[in-house]
Structure formats: C-alpha cells, structure tokens
Structure 1
C-alpha cells in the first residue's frame, strides 16, 4: 500500500484576496466516470497568475495502467498512451504546476474526484481549495449553468470542443478571466465574500490550503511529457455529438439528482447533437455499467452502494432511459 505523505490543513483561503491569488485550471480526460475503477488518461494545467493571461504550464497524456475506455469521447487509444508516463510519474509535476494555487475546473465536481483519487494513490493526502467555473457563472448572475462551449460562445471566446485537455483547460482559463473582471467590478474581494453570494458545496473547500511544493510530499520531478497540444485532431461529428451529451451527463449525475433545469438542458443537448435513441441508451448504459463495475470489484455490494445505484438508475430513467427499461 502506498504510504500517504502529508495531510490537508485547515487554515484556509477565505480571507485571501481573489485578485492576489493564483488559479490553476485543471482538465482531465478519463476512461470513464468512476475514480478508482476509471483512470486519468490526459491532464492539463492552465495557470492564471494575478494580472496575467491564462497559460498552459503542463500537459501530457497518461498511461492509465488499464485498458483504454471512452475513446469514442476523447479519441485517445491504447496505442496513444503506450509510452506515456503513469500518473505517479507526473504527480510531482502536477503539484509544481499548481503550487500555491486555488484549483479550478469547469466542472470541478468531476475533476476534483479524479484529482483526489490519483494523488492519494500517489501518496499525497491533501485536498486543495477548489472552485467550479460552471457554477461561478451562476453565482455572478452571468447566466444559467451550461456546457463549456456555450459559455465560451456567450462571452466571445474562441473554442472548439475537441476533448483535448489543454484546449478545454485554456478555454476555462479564458472564461475565468472574464469572471475575474466581473468579480472586481462588483467589489468582491475575498473568497469568503464570494462564498457568501450563494451556497455551493465547493465553498466548503475554502477552509483548505493550496498545494505546497512537491518536495513537501517527497515527490520527485519528472523530466518529460507526451502532449497532444499542437496536434490537429480531425473532428468526427459522431464523436463530437457523443462528447457533448457525455459532458452533460457528467455534470448532471455528479449529485445524483436531476433538476427540471438539468432535464431541459439534457433534452436540448441531445436534440442539438442529433443523437439517436440507441446512442443515448449506449451512453446511459456506459455510465451505469461503470459504477456497477467499481462497486462489485471487491466482490461485495453494500447498502450504501445499493442506494447509489438506485439513485443513479432513477436519474437515468428521468433522463429518458435506464438499463432494464
């Protein structure tokens, strides 16, 4: 078993000025939805330092140490990651890239779960403060929760949803630059001020401290990366359509509840993507089977897991189809 080095602290960032605090936007491509059963296959870090524009500071494919999954979403194959580093190899680079930063992601509830799993697996027991850019949009009254490409389009940010981690993280970083201007204009000074605007789960993470240097956890730096950045990816219309709805599912299923707003959003995304009922069923089945595979991996299915499966089934059913229907 990997020995855990370090632990989360509770001093927090609530009193920190947002304008003076660096932000690190992370984006992961993964084999599926379930951390542990599924693994990260690509990661990118975009750093936004005070007064500066977003910049990609680290980007690499990751060997998941298992068979590839969700290629139809992100386009990454087993061959692509054959010579890529494992997450353990690059954990030190990730911490160096995010040192002293508040972590952000467009859908942080998805990415933070994978971040915490992968780092714990690498021996780092530290939960950083984090911010969800998808919900920051609603906190600031800039519009309803929506997909990354929709938010970018509304704020005139050039972005094509290729499902490359670097592209997604950079687009999210450019969105934060827009939101940062709104924060300053409204006189919101600290993260504590921000948290008082509206209650979201990620606000609780403001009690934690940012990542220190990787040396604090005994991690070595890794000299190398295998990046897709700069490589042109042919946009497959079918993969793009599947990706659009998969992203929506990730967001909706994060809390195992489907609001009316989320239901309308799902229908709209499916209609816009032109998905057929067979494709919708496939993605719903993929989400459900991934969770089942994780839960039964230990040859056991406890009451908590059973309840989660029941809730997941209800969510998928409300969205139009669940396995067995």
Structure 2
C-alpha cells in the first residue's frame, strides 16, 4: 500500500446528530496537497439502513440511496483515501466521530483521535478573526462559492479551499509539517479497497435555506474556549429542523459532559446564542411574523423565557453586553455620529444622505473605528466596507432600517 502525504478534508451528511443512534448517508473526501492545492475529490451516497432523518436539510431522498452502497462496502475505499494524510473537517469534532464510528463497525480503526486532526472552523479564529463559525462565513471571507450547502462533496471541497487559503497565508507554520509527519508515519490499517462505482447525489434543485439556516450562517464566533464553539456548532445543526428531539437533547447533555461544560455555562451559551440570533435577524431592520414565530420556537428549545424574546423583538438587538450578559438593544446614535453607506440603494444616494444629514448624522466615505453604523443595500454584503465594519464590530444594517433610524 502506497501512501501520499497531504491533507484529506472530509464531510458527512447524516441521519441525525449522534453516531450510534444515527448513520452516515453521504460522505466526501477531498485531497489537499502540502502547498494548499486541491487535487482530488471523491464522494458517494451511503445507504444508512434506516430513515434519512432531516431530509429537508440534506435533500437526500430514499430513492437516491436505494442502490447506494452500505458504509461497510466502502470503508476500505475511504480508509485508502485517508491513509497517510492529515484528517481535516469544518467542525472536525462532528465528522470525525461519525467516520470513526462507521470504521469501527467495519473492523477498521483510525490511528488518531479528533484532537489530532485539523478543524477549519477552529483555525478561522487564527486566520479569519471576527468571521463567524459557519463554513459559509469562512468561504465568504475568501470570496469562495459554496454552491450546495449540505452536499457532502461541495461542503468538503469548500472546506478544502478554505484550508488551502490558510496554508498559503502561513506557509512556513511548523504546525502544518508536524501534522503531516504525524499522519504519514501513523500506524494505518491495511486497506483493501473494492473501488465500487460511486453513487452520486441525484441532480435537481436544492431546497432553499430556511430563515433559521440563514441566521446560523451569520452567527459570530465565540470568544471563549474551543469547546464552547464545538457545542454551539452542534446546536446549529440541532436547530436546523426547528426541533430538538429527546435523543438530541440527551446527546447534547452528553456532549456538554464530554467537553467539560457545566449546566450553568451551557445556560449562558444558550442566552448568548439567542442574542446572536436576534441580532442577525434584526440586520435588515425588520422581523416578519414568520420570523418571530421561528425565533420564539428557538427560545422555547433553549429554555429562554418568552418575555425575554418579546423584549428582544421590541427593537433592534446589536449584541451582548460583556459585563452583564444582557442584550444590547437599539442603535443609539447621536448628532454628529458617522454613518457609512454601501451598495446600490433603492433610493437615490444623495437623497438618503440628505435625510441623514438633516437628522444630524455625518456621512463618512470610508469605514474607520470612529464610524458608528454601516447601512448596506444588502445587509449580507461582502463588500470591502462591510467586511471591515464587521471586523471593527460596527453594526451593519439594511436599507429598510433607515426609516427606523430616522424616526428615532
């Protein structure tokens, strides 16, 4: 068996959140060379031998996996693709546990633990400070397209390109070489691949992301320990189907135990999570009745009082007070505060600037730390101004918020 040095970026789509109770329904492996070049992509659907779980999220249908291989049929193929390479994933804690569990079922064993792998979500804190934890946030930072989120192949390839950018940003970092040596010289099991035909996802339109998924893609990174981000990333997944089942709740409790997160800390993380969701929902200046309903559902799932949710819906939430932990509500601007505009608005730019000046604000041409607010034609804008504003912690709101701003 020959081995190649490099990185193997994996992604799995699953029937649920926890290995053992749930199974892999799709897996992809993308190779990245030591210099950051993406060199190979392999993917297949997998028959999980059980119901497919949240199909509205991953989009896999029963007909798609009817003739797909079992994981046991491809285990040696997957192991061959991993052999000698550093295992990488976005939120590697999740993907590693599923792959390791399925390998164990097939009589194979990965030669290292999750903490010895690389995580593009964790590395974002070093190379993309201020970016969110989602894969889409990392892709946006590099101008990469994430065509079909929750497709294992596209997610793995996107994470591979993110990794490649990290490597090129810091090519001489000895941590890359240490990881490569550890993986290359590890005691890998002998793989006897069958090289079965791959069962690709059927072509067709992917479901449009739900409101909650769009919010999750914009949630900021947590400044606390990596364990907190790992827990919140799992919470991201759990909430995408707008419910937390009894088994998911049990699994989340077990996860907090394994990560060393106390009940009190978990409650604090839930509050922070809800405040972040409210802030993301308010970015366009309005919350629709449907959005309010979904946010209240999330509040119930996180055991947050409806009274607190009502308060958060009363006016724009822009963050969390570091001292008290309370939501910081409304954009408190005073005469002379600097406001920046970006993007093509529905109204003439000069008219908007005139209205803002009449209200006492100062129109500023560029984003500096002295700017109090950025108004974007698209609050999800990836413009240089929007990226810099988010990096400085300056609120970014949509054009529709101008009416509220001027009225206040």
Larger Rg over CA atoms: 2
**Secondary structure class of the residue paired with 2:9:** strand
Inter-CA distance 313–47: structure 2 relative to 1 (3 Å threshold): same
The CA deviation at 1:163 is 1.4
The CA deviation at 1:281 is 9.2
Retained in 1: the 8 A contact 2:7–2:87?
A: yes
Q: Which residue of 2 aligns with 1:138?
A: 125
Looking at secondary structure, tell me which structure has more strand per residue: 2
Retained in 1: the 8 A contact 2:131–2:141?
A: no
For the pair 1:233 / 2:176, whether they are aligned, the reply is no
Inter-CA distance 142–324: structure 2 relative to 1 (3 Å threshold): closer
Distance 1:311 1:226 in 2: 45
1:42-73 alpha-carbon deviations (Å, 9 max, x no partner): 00000012346314432100001111111011
The CA deviation at 1:283 is 2.7
- Of 158, 167, 189, which residue of structure 1 is paired with 2:145? 158
Aligned residues: 263
Unaligned runs of 5+ in 2: 275-298, 305-408
**Secondary structure class of the residue paired with 2:26:** strand
The CA deviation at 1:124 is 1.3
Distance 1:71 1:45 in 2: 22
- Of 31, 34, 37, which residue of structure 2 is paired with 1:47? 31
Retained in 2: the 8 A contact 1:101–1:211?
A: no
Inter-CA distance 235–52: structure 2 relative to 1 (3 Å threshold): same
- Of 164, 169, 173, which residue of structure 2 is paired with 1:188? 173
The CA deviation at 1:104 is 0.4
Q: Which residue of 2 aligns with 1:285?
A: 244
For the pair 1:223 / 2:183, whether they are aligned, the reply is no
Distance 1:117 1:285 in 2: 23
More displaced stretch, 101-110 vs 121-130: 121-130
Higher relative contact order (CA 8 A, sep 6+): 1
Q: Which residue of 1 aligns with 2:63?
A: 79
Distance 1:97 1:117 in 2: 17
Unaligned runs of 5+ in 1: 1-19, 194-202, 270-278, 296-300
Retained in 2: the 8 A contact 1:256–1:315?
A: no
Inter-CA distance 191–56: structure 2 relative to 1 (3 Å threshold): closer
**Secondary structure class of the residue paired with 2:42:** strand
The CA deviation at 1:227 is 1.1
Q: Which residue of 1 aligns with 2:312?
A: none
Distance 1:130 1:174 in 2: 17
TM-score (structure 1 length as normaliser): 0.66
For the pair 1:116 / 2:95, whether they are aligned, the reply is no
Q: Which residue of 1 aligns with 2:364?
A: none
Retained in 2: the 8 A contact 1:28–1:44?
A: yes
Inter-CA distance 245–234: structure 2 relative to 1 (3 Å threshold): same
Distance 1:315 1:284 in 2: 20
